């Protein structure tokens, strides 16, 4: 007759350290993919430069077009990786799973595919702030980075 009220325990927001660790792990997971991409495009010295004979200027060893193609494909792979894993039941990339954290809406609920995509795109904007957008985690009550503020998402401790 009477419904018992259930109180959910407050969720604990993930620290900068846990998020940084997850990012390092995700970078390690994606690095072989990017190295294969560089190999596939035949750029053995991606973004490498050499000094000319007179030590006056730097000359790129790979063409600008090759470098841009690799950059754009790398961004697309990163966006696909983030979008896919964050929109799944576990709500976490491989790095986040290992770090014991997950991404959700402000209430912890699962992100939709479109919101995961928006968050992945917004994380590029956060990176464009020379890392300052990520450092906001250190100074905000709910440990939010710029892309979390834009998308109204949070990163929590716990596994889904």
Which residue ranges make up each domain of the chain? 16-157
Least confident of 1-15, 32-46, 72-86: 1-15
Give the model's pLDDT for residue 40: 77
Of residues 54 and 125, the one with the higher pLDDT is 125
* pLDDT tens digits for range 112-140: 999 999 999 999 999 999 989 999 999 99
Tell me the pLDDT of the chain averaged across its residues. 85
Q: Which residues of 55-87 are buried (b: 16+ CB within 10 A; e: fewer)?
A: eeeeeeebeeebbeebeebeeeebbebbbebbb
- Cβ(56)–Cβ(23) below 8 Å: no
pLDDT digits (tens, 9 = 90+) for 76-100: 999 999 999 999 999 999 999 999 9
pLDDT for position 52: 55
pLDDT class of 47 with cuts at 50, 70, 90: very low
Q: How far apart are CA 159 and CA 150, in angstroms?
A: 24
């Amino acid at each position: 007759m009477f419904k018992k009220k259930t109180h959910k325990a407050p969720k604990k927001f993930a620290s900068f350290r846990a998020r940084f660790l997850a990012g390092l792990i995700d970078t390690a997971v994606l690095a072989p993919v990017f190295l294969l991409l560089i190999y596939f495009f035949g750029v053995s010295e991606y973004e490498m430069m050499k000094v000319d004979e007179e030590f006056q200027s730097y000359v790129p060893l790979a063409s600008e077009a090759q470098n841009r193609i690799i950059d754009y494909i790398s961004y697309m792979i990163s966006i696909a990786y983030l979008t896919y894993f964050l929109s799944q039941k576990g709500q976490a990339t491989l790095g986040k799973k290992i770090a014991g954290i997950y991404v959700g809406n402000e209430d912890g609920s699962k992100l939709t595919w479109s919101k995961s995509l928006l968050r992945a795109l917004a994380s590029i904007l956060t990176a464009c702030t020379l890392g300052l957008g990520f450092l906001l985690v250190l100074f905000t009550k709910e440990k939010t980075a710029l892309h979390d503020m834009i998308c109204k998402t949070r990163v929590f401790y716990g596994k889904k």
